[in-house]
Amino acid sequence: MSIKIRKQDALNYHTLGQPGKIEVVPTKVLSTQLDLALAYSPGVAEPCKEIANNKEDVYKYTAKGNLVAVISNGTAVLGLGNIGPEASKPVMEGKGVLFKKFAGIDVFDIEIAEEDPDEFIKIVKSLEPTFGGINLEDIKAPECFKIEKELRAKMNIPVMHDDQHGTAIISCAAMLNALEIVGKKIEKVKLVVNGAGAAAVSCTRLYIEVGMKKENIIMCDSKGVIRGDRKGLDEIKAEFATTKNISTLQEAMKGADIFLGLSVADILKPEDIQSMAKDPIVFALANPNPEIAYDIARASRPDLIMATGRSDHPNQVNNVLGFPYIFRGALDVRANEIDEAMKLAAVRALANLAKEAVPDMVMKAYQSKKLQFGRDYLIPKPLDPRLITAIAPAVAKAAMESGMATKNIEDWGAYHQELLKRIGIDQKLINRIIERARKNPKRVVFAEADNHKILKAAQVLVDEKIAYPILLGNRAKIESIIKENSLELGECKIIDPEEDQELKKKYAEVYYKKRQRKGITFLDAMRKMRDRNAFGAIMVDHGEADALVSGLTKDYPKTISPALQIIGMEPGNQSGSRDVYYSQ
């Protein structure tokens, strides 16, 4: 779905009503004189004294543990370049909005008028008492490398330059899944990187961390291939200099398995894609326009897997898939820093989530009828609510295992619920029901199992260990839908009434005995067993299932009538009441 952004719409969005996108809201009641006295003088002196005696109590009595600073000097803002700290503020406010929406993290954006890296480091280091984490943003290379490295060494709170590591983590997850789809091993593939800035360098380093061979990587900048014999190479570029006797991007592309672009628009031509190896993987991540237009690239190779930074094409590499949840996990265990183990945990969690069945609410959000792991779905969508419960715990566990955490999470179930609550999903009643169901899973027969929505619901039950689905319907159709949607329902029992004539006859006899005094013949009963609602109700009544789920494709009377005839009313219910129970 393409979204056109008009200049005036964007300006109006930022200026109408209260200017900007963020505000500070108190978290305590401020209704009475007592409230004010507790919030400020004289009551505030008590937590001040506690913190003075034990600095760690700052996490207990203030918002520090859920507060991140988004900091920039405006030297590399989006694709706009060095436009200054004031002009960077809308971006930093926007980053704060994303932190809050997706992970419930509060943010102060701080724009610093300082380009000298040493002075910048001093300023940010001095902010440590205020914040639980530091998100560096839109700082130009190579200064950004020094700034992040020194701040990580000098500060005891998580510091991450998202322009580097966010893109690296998201693209790495997508790359691992793409390689799995095409059946290539990471240690054998050839990678061409176009661009040598912060994101490109961080991506390449992370790819090496997960198994790519450095000798199989060729990095290019605006001058061409970065070679070891080039004069004047800085320390960063020298790290990726090749000894191969090639000079141009076009030469490098021949036989390449993967292209990673973090450079400029339209640098690639169709013939460059055509010169790549079988099943080429192209991550053209230049914004707003990729290194080659999506439609042109797809037309040049039918076996192409492609990702961009754009939301109007499949496989959008969007940093919002990472930074809110990485900081969430890091804050929740009070990590001293975000180390490699935590980044890799985020990569694996993101890659694994893409292989799970996609909830219908996500498909509706993206107006898509089919989202499933494959060439056009390498990584989850940004509006997938499962991201926080997949990535944050993985990062927190990695921090605990690597020794970065100063606080342990003991009850992971409670933590899961806490994460949902932070993003506004409070399911206390449902969660209690789910926990009870897990302790004693029941056999649930789905009368409309040849519908992909029903099968996805069954997959959730299996994944959450809530129940044992029994799939009722045409076996061939059910198996086809399972395969098409990459569902893992192999252990679920499938019953095809037309296929199992003996079972159909057995249930017809049960129905006949129940309804023969109502004018039903045995032949009528056999015909009735074609109705899967009746067939499923017999299963429940006969003790071969504990519950029946139906009603997606038929209206209420047709769905409930067989249950009323076969199972009957719950004792105490009045005839005609809608409060009918299907289970025994």
Residue 577 has pLDDT above 60, yes or no: no
Reading the block at residue 267, the tokens are: 């640098």
Residue 375 tokens read as 């060439």
**pLDDT at position 582:** 42
Kindly report the CATH number assigned to the domain that includes residue 77.
3.40.50.10380
How large is the average pLDDT for residues 257-275?
A: 96
- Per-residue pLDDT, 61: 96
CB 539 within 8 A of CB 531: no
Number of domains in the chain: 4
Residues 446 and 307 placed together within one structural domain of the fold:
no
The active-site residue out of 7, 28, 59, 95 is 95
Residue 223 lies in a domain: yes
pLDDT at 359: 83
Query: Which of 105, 129, 157 is a domain's end point?
Result: 157
The dihedral through the CA atoms of 528, 531, 533, 535 has a sign that is positive
> In this structure, how many other beta carbons lie within 10 angstroms of the beta carbon of residue 509?
15
The per-residue pLDDT for 371 is 85
Residues near 434 by beta carbon (within 8 Å), at least 6 away in sequence: 464, 466
Tell me, yes or no, whether 38 lies in a domain: no
- Flag whether pLDDT at 328 surpasses 50: yes
Whether 578 shows a pLDDT value over 50: the answer reads no
Check residue 167 and give its pLDDT.
Answer: 93
Given 13, 21, 28, 40, the catalytic residue: 40
Same domain, 325 and 413: yes
CA gap 34, 37 in Å, rounded: 5
Mean predicted confidence (pLDDT) in 524-546 = 89
What pLDDT is recorded for position 427? 57
The CB-based long-range contact list for 477-481 (8 Å cut-off, 24+ gap) reads 477/450, 478/449, 478/450, 481/450, 481/451, 481/452, 481/455
pLDDT of residue 430: 65
CA distance 179 to 168: 16
Instruction: Classify residue 324: in a domain, yes or no.
Output: yes
Q: Do residues 107 and 70 make contact, with C-beta atoms less than 8 angstroms apart?
A: yes
Dump strand ranges (E) for 191-315: 191-194, 217-221, 224-225, 258-261, 281-284, 305-308
Q: CB burial class (10 A; 0-12, 13-18, 19+) of residue 140?
A: middle
- pLDDT for residue 358: 87
40 is catalytic: yes
154 vs 517, which has greater pLDDT? 154
**C-beta neighbour count of 101 within 10 angstroms:** 14
Does one domain contain both 307 and 223?
yes
Percent of the chain surpassing pLDDT 70: 96
Q: Distance between CA atoms of 202 and 285, rounded to whole angstroms?
A: 14
Tokens of 1: 């779905």
Question: Does residue 41 belong to any structural domain of this protein?
Answer: no
% of the chain with per-residue pLDDT over 90: 63
Q: Looking at 128, 157, 186, which one is the last position of a domain? A: 157
pLDDT at position 574 over 60: no
Residue 295 and residue 195 share a domain? yes
On whether the CB atoms of residues 302 and 279 are closer than 8 A, the answer is no
Evaluate if residue 466 carries a pLDDT over 80: yes
CATH of the domain at 438: 3.40.50.10950
CATH of the domain at 300: 3.40.50.720
Same-domain pairing of 312 and 169: yes
Q: What's the whole-model pTM score?
A: 0.78
Residue 306 sits in the same domain as residue 182: yes
pLDDT of amino acid 9:
79
Q: Judge whether residue 538 has pLDDT over 80.
A: yes
**Do 190 and 300 share a structural domain?**
yes
| Overall average pLDDT of the 477-490 stretch | 87
| CA pair distance 256, 276, nearest whole angstrom | 5
Torsion angle in degrees (nearest 10) through CA of 322, 325, 331, 332: -150
484 DSSP 8-state letter: H
Q: Is residue 292 part of a domain?
A: yes
Distances (CA, A) of 483 to 143, 226, 374, 477: 50, 45, 12, 10
Residues 283 and 184 in one domain: yes
* Structure tokens that stand for 182 in this block: 């095409």
One domain, residues 252 and 393:
no
584 has pLDDT over 60: no
Residue 335's pLDDT is: 97
What is the average pLDDT score of the chain? 90
Domain membership of residue 102 (yes or no) is: yes
365 in the same domain as 307: no
Band of residue 120 on the pLDDT scale cut at 50, 70, 90:
very high
pLDDT score, position 260: 97
The per-residue pLDDT for range 405-462, each reduced to its tens digit, is 999 999 998 999 899 988 887 655 566 677 778 888 999 999 999 998 899 889 888 8
Question: For 35-53, what is each residue's pLDDT tens digit?
Answer: 999 999 999 999 999 999 9
**In terms of Cα–Cα distance, which of 522, 545, 103, 515 is closest to 321?**
103
Q: Is the pLDDT of residue 269 over 70?
A: yes
How far is it, in rounded angstroms, from Cα 313 to Cα 1?
8
E strand segments, 90-247: 106-111, 133-136, 159-161, 191-194, 217-221, 224-225
Q: Is residue 411 part of a domain?
A: yes
Residue 490 domain boundaries = 432-566
Residue 365 confidence class, pLDDT cut points 50, 70, 90: confident
What is the pLDDT, as a whole number, of residue 515? 85
pLDDT given at position 511: 87
Dihedrals φ, ψ of 166, to 5°? Answer: -60, -50
pLDDT at 580: 42
Report the alpha-carbon distance of residue 266 to residue 292 in Å, rounded.
Answer: 5
Q: Which of 402, 426, 450 is the last residue of a domain?
A: 426
Verify that 16 and 143 share a domain, yes or no: yes
Is 95 one of the catalytic residues? yes
Q: What is the pLDDT of residues 197-225, one digit of tens each?
A: 889 999 999 999 999 999 999 999 999 99
Mean pLDDT of 251-275: 96
pLDDT at 576 over 60: no
Instruction: Provide the pLDDT for residue 155.
Output: 97
What DSSP character marks residue 374?
B
Q: Could you tell me if 301 and 179 lie in one domain?
A: yes
Q: What is the pLDDT of residue 46?
A: 95
Per the domain annotation, does 313 fall within a domain?
yes
Q: Is the pLDDT of residue 255 over 80?
A: yes
